[in-house]
Each structure stands twice: as structure tokens, then as C-alpha cells.
Structure 1
Amino acid sequence: MCTMKRHTAMPSILRTIALLALVAFFALGCAPRQSIKSADLLATPNLVVEAETAWKARNYPAAELYYAALLERPDLDKAMLPTVYDRLADSAFRNGHYHQARVALESWANMDAKAVELSSWELTYLDTMAALNRGERLQNHLKWLLSARALPWATRSDAGLWYGEYSRSRGEFERSLETLAAFYAQAPTNADRVVMETAYRATLKALDDKRVMELSQAIPAENQWLFPYVLVGFEQGVRKATDKESWSTVWRAMRNLAARGQIVDRAPMDRVLATLEARYGLPRVGLALALPLTGPYGKVGVKILRGAGLAQWRLAQEAVDVDLRVINTEVPGWEKRLAELPAQYSVVGGPLRVQAFKQLYEGIAPGQRVLDNRAVFTFLSSLGDMEEGREAWRFFSSHNDEVRSLTSLAVNDLGIRDLAVFYPEEGFGRSMAETFYREAAPLGGRIRGMQSYPPRDLKQWSKRVGALLKVPANFSENKDVPLPMPDFGAVFLPDGWNQAQTLLPNFFFYEGDQLLFLGPSLWSRALDNAQIADEHYYRLAVCPGPWWEGSEGGRALQGALTEEGLGNADFWVALGYDFLRFAGRLGALPAGWDADDVNARIASASRIDFSMAPISWDSQGVASQEQYLFSPVRNGKRLINAASLADSIAKAKARRDKRLGAYEKRQEEGKTR
């Protein structure tokens, strides 16, 4: 806490200030209706009576004068000093005499250090410092309060609520919520937490819709279940519940908050929700999944459906009714059956294959396409010619997501700015090479080498690797001569895992074992079922993926599957599980909806605890998904550690330098013979 200076002549100073303030009060024509007697003509007991009478009558100008005068009386009972200082400070503050209030408070604290333990002292002090615009002192005092564990909790709790409102009133919404969360985390008992929850509910209820919305926009997804964020989110739902078109979405969000909020007293939320349900009814969500359930991709579709079924069951336990229809995209005419579903099935998950997605719009007149009447969230990395966020949406990683994670690792985490691309001469390879170039440039990455190879002519692969590494034409004749170091430290290989197992040994043949090898998510998926005979080639290989069974979300999903006897989790199961919960929060779209309606709902719907890597959408409805980064190992893959990877690269470079040094030493010895 800020230190207080002792004021030896404080009583006379306080009275002088009070008298001057009173003179100004009369001069401005603001004299109170109650008469003010001369303090000098009153004996101390009578002055005490007059001060208390003025105080109770809310005649604060007179109260301020009388209490300041009492401090000059040597015969004043010392036991009354706390009351005198308290009421003097409060009266002065109410009269707008903030310096007078500050002096009174500091004098009180100097007289009795325990004064600061009182809520009345703290709150008046905080109000006074705010009125004096002492922002730095307030921030220092906040730090002291958060560390002053010996201070009574009731006082600290009141101060925490004050700071929350102070920051909010200044437009510092994130700080407001963070400060409240910090105090709440220190509450000694559940009863103390309930008191704070009740007080903050009342604060939120008193705010207008605009203020509640401003606070709700400052809620990070990871904190949505915690105090005070959960109360803000719920109150925002209360304000939006009157909109019939959005009621189903609002209801699901409020139901989740009421069911999962990590606060002590959730009963008030349940009561409010029950009242709203009685008024507006219980919504039912219609959702369609367009998946291959037979044919070559049938197993994948069944896995997605297994995850979706688990999510449907879990939501039903939370009173969220999802009416799910499944359309098999391998059966002819599936797109017609999808189009003929009742309008309540306004959200569609899938399809999974590009050709199936094209069937939803190719050769169909505008206005009659499924895309025109339903919000389609595809399980594809790209929408092709369709405009993402306007005509359809993605619930899947893009190639940009994959490449962005790799370039960020190389440039930002490992400091490798000189890069190369070795890509197959076909559509996927060329597209990924271009994407790598686009993602690396903003980070400061430089493409030092760009080499293609014929995907089916394996005999050419070694020669093309040699060309990328600038291997001399006479290399085969002088194998003892060290090759020049490549002018790049990492190479991107946008091809499948089977091809990578042939490509990487070629780099080692040309002494490229110190390079960082970056692969696409195709590697990650293949490694889920791969066995590697020789890990030597893959120690510096990295590939991205949106699923990691060891993540918190992955473990939670596996726990839910195990509990229901539904087998093992993987990416496709996670995809179905996450999508259905996301769509459940998105809700049934209103009649006449447009893309802006969907994009507005996505922000709230995406606040789920993802089991796979989280997906986020920008305001235009364009999705991006975080990626985990893996290295291949004998039994599949493991999550990388950037520091360990940097150390391995350094050791590989050191080995190459050692070989070069040994060669140069032999050359020197040969010259001296």
C-alpha cells in the first residue's frame, strides 16, 4: 500500500479547508436548506450532536465543517476519532472536496494502521484517488491489495469489485474481468465466493445492454466457464433472449454456461433459464451430416458419425435436443435427398470429398442449390471456386494452416530463414509450393532453392535432389571430397509419406543430413498406422496435424468414448464429435438467414472445448485451425520440442563440420609429405 506521511498540524488544516469550502459553497448559491451553527460557539458534546444530526440529515457541507472542527477539540473522546475521520472523509468526498477527503483518510490511517482494514476506508480512498485521477497510485494500491493476504477478505472483496467497475468504466474491459478473476481466485471459502458472485450479478444486471455487450466481447474462449466471465456471458444471453430468431442459439449458449460454469452458486442461472424457457420454449436443433458411409471412404464416414453420435448423447444429457439426419453421399441422388430435408435442417456438416461437394452446386441454377438454402460446413481443406464465409464454410484445416505452422517453426522458433522447396510436378505439389512461398515471405523467410521432380519417375528423384543441393556433376568420381553446404537450412517436401521414405535417403546420400525436413499433414495421418524401420532419416523431419491423442481435449474425448464403450479416438472421431457440438451451439438458422447471420453466430458457437486442435473463424467466416507438430518415430510419431530439435540440428551441423575438418586436415598432411 502507498505510505502515508504524518501530519502534525492536521486538525487545523482540515478545518481551514472545510471553512474555505463552505465559504465557496455559499458564494455559489449552493447553501443547504438546513442552518449551519458556528462550531466555535458549541461545546464539544453539543458539536458532536450537531455533526451527527447533519450527517444523518445528509447535510454534508455542515457535517464536513463540524467533523473538521471536532478534530481540533482536545476534549474529544479518542474513541470517536475513527467515526470522525470516516464521516469527514465521506462528507468531503460527497461535497467534491477530494483533497480534503484524501487528507482525512491518510490522517486516520496514520493514527490507526488498522483503518485500512475497513471497507469504508478502502472504498472512500479508492473513490477519492479516482476523482483525483491518480491512476498510478490506484494501480500500485491494487497490487498491494492482491498481495495483502492479512487484510480481511470482506474488505478485499469489496475493493476487487470496485476495481472491476473502475476498469470497466474506463473502457478497459479485459482488465476489469481479469482483476475480478484475480480476487475471486483468492477467496478463502465457497461462502465468500458466493458473496462475490451475488454482488457481481447485481452489478451486471444494473448495466445497460451496450455495457454488457462490451464486457462479453472481452471474454477469451479459454475462460468462458470461469468467474466473472461465465456471469457476463450468461447476462449477455439474457439480454439477447428476447430476439425470437436467435433464441435457439442463445438458449444453447446459456444452457452450457449454466451447466458448466465453474462457480459455486449456479442456481440463479438455472432459475433465470427456467423462466426464459417457460416464456420462449425449448428449442430443437435440426442438423444434417453428408458423409460416405459405404465405399472406399466408408470407414472414415463411420468414424465421423461415431464421434457425432457421442456428442449428440452428451448434449441430450444437458437438455440440448439435436435432431440428426445422416445422408450417405455414396448413394446416387444423395444431394436431392439433402435438398428435400425440411427447412429446420439448416446446417449441414460435410461432405468429405471434393467431388461430392461439387455435386451441391455444379449444373444447378442459383437459388436452387443446397448451398443457397443451408449453411454447409465442409470437411475439406478448400472450397475451390466457392467463396468461403459467403457461399459455404469449412470445418477443417487448410493447406495454409499446415504450411503456416511449418514456416513459423523454421523461421520464428529455430531461426532458419533460408529455405527450399522440393515438390512433385503435379497440382498438389505446385499448389503447396506456392503456399509455402506465400507463408514464408511475411516471416522473413527466403526461398533459396525451388526444385521439382516427376512423381512417377523414381530414377529421376536422386538427380533432382542433387540439383537442389547443387551437387557437382563429378560427385560420383570424387566421393571422398566433401560436398558444399546447402545455402538453406530447411526443405519443404509436399508429398505423401510413402514418397518421403524414398526421398529423404537421397538427401542423406548427398550429405544433407543437417537439414530440417518439413512435410505436410499427409505424413501425420500416415504415421498413425506406420512402422519405421530406420529412424535415422527422420530425426530432423517435422509434419503438422490437427489431432494429438495426448492433448487435454484428446484425453477427454477418449475418456468419454471409453465410458460409453465406443472404442478408440482418432482425428475423424474427434472431427464428428467437435462438429456436432459446434453445430449444436450454432443452432437452427432463422428464416431468410444470410451469410452475415452465420458469421455472427460462429463467434459464439466456436467457444467449445475442442478435442482436436481448435478452429477459429475471422469476421468474414474464413476458418483457420491450429496445428500440432510431430516427428516420425519407430512406432508412429511424437510431439516435437523446438529446443530439442534445435539441439539436434546443431549436433548434425557439428558432425558435418567435423567431417569437413578431417578432410581439410588430410589435404594439408598430403601437401607436407
Structure 2
Amino acid sequence: MHKDSRFCPLRWFGVAILLITLVWSGCAPPPRVAMPERPPVERPVAKPPVQPPKPADVGDDVFTAAENFYRQKQYDKALDTYTAYLSRYPNGSWVADSLLKIGMIHREKGRLAQALSSFQKLSLDFPNSALAAEAEVASFPIYYQMKNYGGVIQRATSLLKQRLAPDIYRQTVDWLAQAYFASGRAADALLVYAQAMGNVDATTQLAFRKNMESMAAKTDPDELMRLVNRIGQPEMQGEIVYFAAAGYFQKEDYDKAHAAIDLFRKDYPQNPKRSQIDALALQIKQQAEYEKHTIGCILPLSGTYEAYGKRALRGIEMAQYMFGATRPSEPVTVLVKDSQSTPEGSAAAVRELADAKVAAILGPIGSADSAAETSQSLGIPILVLTQKDRITQIGNQVFRHFITPEMQAEKLVSYAVTSKGLRRFAVLYPKDSYGTGMMNAFWDRVQAAGGTMVGAEGYDPASADFGLPIQKLTGAFFQGQPSGTPPNADIDVLFIPESPARVSQILPQLVYYNLKPRLILGTNLWHTPAMMPLAGGLDAELVCTDAFDPDIEKAPVPEFVKLCTETYNEKPGLIEAITYDSASILFESVLKPKIRFRSDIRKELLAMPSWIGVTGKTRFLPNRDCQKELLIFRIQTDRFLDMTGF
């Protein structure tokens, strides 16, 4: 290539400079333009900030105040404040809440009609509110209290068709079941619970089952069995069958109980109640497994009451002998256990007799609580020989055959009022359990007979001075009168529940302090020859009561007295006589052909017509206490004159 055509940077740089110079020099400068002056800027004056609009008064403060009063249980203030809210804000946000709380307050105060009015207004004005359901539930206890069970049933049934909160649902089911049960529809009540089980949590299920058990225990088991097929859930069906079996057991209908148990084991073998049904079956088996011809007997053959125990044993031995003589083909075995005169010994004796599978138990004498409780727990009928108050309330297996303070008081008061026409009574008694019990029984009978109790004075059982209580009865003590002054209290009848030895000390002091009743009454403790000398020289008539008299000529007493005299060389007393009758009653009852279970013995005793024995007529009342016709005697210096016929 030719060397002149090569690119030379320096040459081109010079050319560029030359061109720029020519352009610059050939262009005229632009004319200057005058700029107008800017006017002064006025700065804006600061304005006060704009306040937001004041919110409308919607009553929140009033409602909050009412709620605070309600939480503090200041119900009157809360009621006034809720009412003020409704008056000032009839369309407010808290109207429904206020109506509910107003109803609650009225209900709490017992104003049931006003409470219902408030609840009903809430339901009508706010039918779609959750509070409407609460108002319905709140009204249930009111209808229930008013015994308007139909109202509860109607409203609860309707409410359950809605979608409810869990707590509202639980309460509604509860009230519906309770209303059904109260109206005599136990099966429907149980069905309500059973059908609700799948809709509640485990805690509520437990509560429902507890209520079901309580209801089922009071429901006829036949009705329970009819209910089984109405329940769709197998587990609940099994529970109802169990409840029915338990009901039959309580009614002592063991055949039907067995049938229910068999059904349970066949159709519901995995049911949670299986262990309980097996225990029930075992109890029924124990009722059937006993020695039909064996009677247990508990007596104090040692210890404090040994003398009474040995006399009672005579009565039992004579009863066994006489029963065998009249019914040789049906011998009776008697197993005798010593109570050792203690409660612990009595309870141990019951357990030993239970192991021996006795049909029933006779005894003990005196303190019988522990023996009765043990026998009741084991399901063995027991016939106790005691005056202990309310002993038969221990349970349905406990019977009593003995004379009680109430029996004696009733006989004595009846004689005084009916035979003698006397109305003014007083009691002089020792302050011990025997004397106090007799005094209370006597007082009750006097009032029941329309008599007047002038007074009742107690004394120290260890004292031999009876002057102070006697003067209190006469009124002399309160007026400061000396002894021998005519009393101002006119006492017709004086009751002294004491032993003959103490009565012999009291009677002279009655004369000394010028207490002169026309009739002086005593208990069966007076029915002894030791009282005869005390009758001499008295203006008053001495009278006592008892259940047995060996000198009565009416059968079967003479034969019994003869047997005792020939066997033991002395006449029988009350202890021998009452144990003789008690044993005879049991022998006769346990050997009835229809007796299959121990419970049948109990039923036989209750169904027994008046038993005519050596202690008179006897029968057992529904409370299993005995009813006896006592004797009444006028004490004379040479005999006890029978005044039973008045």
C-alpha cells in the first residue's frame, strides 16, 4: 500500500481543532433575555387541627356498668341499670344480653313470671340469636319448679332440632330427661340420654351415665326391659339390661334377674358392665345357697350380759324341743355363737354363721348395731332382741322382736287416760340412757293422747336423795315453800322408770314432800315380787306393764311354764319367753315350702299374720319392727292383778 494513505492520528486531530475554531467564530452569541421579577410568596397562616366527629352514644358504658353489678351479685343495682339501658337504647347492641340478664335476676329473686316474660321477649325479638337458646334453657328450671313438665318437654324438644353450642346442648338434654322422668316417663328419659351419648364429649357422657344409673334404679325393671329394643346402640342396650337385672335383684325377683343376666351375657359379653353383672349373679347365688334347716343364734354367753344370755339360751332350747316334738320330720339345727357381750364379738359371730350358710340369725340381746349392720351387708335376715331405737332402719334384713319404750309408754298412758280418766302427768326419771329414753317415749304418748305434761324431772342415778326433783314437780321449790306445804301442782299420774330397789327409796320421799298422785306407773322392771310389799300403805295405785306373765292360764303359756319348770327348776321370765317365741317364729318361717331364697324368709316374716305365742300376739310392721299386745298389771301386796282388758 502507498505510504500516503496510512491513517495518521495526529493529522486528524489537527483538522478537528480547525473545524471547531471556524464554527465558533462564525456563530453570533444569543441575545440576553430580561427575566421578570418574582412576586413575594405569602406563607399560609396555620389553622387549628380539625377535631374528629364525636361518636354517637350507643350505651356501652351503661351496659358495662350493669354487667359489673351483675358479676358482683348486686342484683338490684344490675336490674335497674339493665332496665335503664333498654329504656334509653331500645335498638342498642346489648338489648338481647340485657333481656337475658334481667330474666336471670328475676329468676334468682324468685319472680318466676317476670323471669319468663323477659326470656320469652328475648326469644320472640331475637329468634336467630344464640342468646335465644340460652333464654330457653334458662326458662327450663322455672317450668320444672312450677311442675310444668310438659312445658320443658315441648321447648327442649324443639330446641334440640337446632344447632346448639355444646354446653347449651348438654343442658337441654339434661332438662328434657329430668322432665320426662318427673312426669312418670322414665323410659323416655333414659332414651333421651342414650340417644345423646354420641353427640357429647367424654366428660358429659360420664355425667349422663351417672344420671341414667340414678333414674334406672328408680325405674321398674320390666319397663327397662321394654326399652332395650328402642335403643339403637348395643353398648347402651347392654347397660339398660344391667340396670334391669339390678332392679330385679333389688325387688328380690331373682328369677327375672337371672333371665336378664343370661341375656346380658349372651348378647353383650364385651359390655363394660360385665364385671358388675357377674358380681350380681354371685349375690343371687349366695341368696340361694344356704342350709334351709339351720338357724344361727348369737347370745352373750360370757362377759357383762352372761346371765341374760344363758336365760335366752333356755328359751331357744325349749323352742327347738317343742318344734321337734310337733314336727319330727323337719328337724331344725341351731348354731349358737357367743358374742362375748361386745359389739365386735357380735359382728364376728355373724360372719362365722354366714360361713356356715345359716338361713337366718336370732340375736343378739342388747347392743345389736354391729351384728345388724354385718348381717345386712351379707344379705342374711336377722331378728334382734333389743330396745335400741331405730334399729330396723339399718336395712331391710333387720327385724326386731322385743318390747320397746314406745310400746310400754303407749300401754301405760292408754290405761291412765282410758280406764282412769286422768289427764295430768309427770315423770321422775334417772338421767341415764334407760330413764331418758323412757321419759321421752312417755312424754310423746301423753301428748298424743291429749294429756298434759305438768313436768319431768331427772336425778343423778347414783344419788339417794330425790328431794330436789320432787319439789320441782310439786312447785314448792320455785315458791320457797317448806316441805309438807300443800303443793300447787295437781299431778294425777307419776311415771317412774326405775328398778324396784330405787323405787323403794323414792316412794317414802314422795309422801314426805307431799307429792300424792292418784296413779304411779312403772315399766316391766316392776313386774317382780320385790314390788309387792311397796303397794302397802299407799293411797296411789301402782301399775306396770310387761309382755309375759307366767301365771296366765291361757294357752300356750301353761305348757311353756311347765316345760321350763321341769327342765330348769324355775319359772321362766321375759327373756326366756321372748326368745322362745322368736325362735319359734323363725323355725316356722324358714321351713315354709315356698322358701327358695333368704329373701323369701324376709317376705314370709312380713306377711306373717299375728303370731300367738307365750308373749301374746305379735306381727311385724312394714318397717320390720314388731307390734305386740302388752299386758298391764295392778300391783297388790299379794299378786299382780291382770288389768289388760281394762
TM-score, length-normalised on structure 1? 0.47
Question: Which has the larger Rg?
Answer: 2
- Return the structure number with greater relative CO, CA threshold 8 A, min gap 6: 1
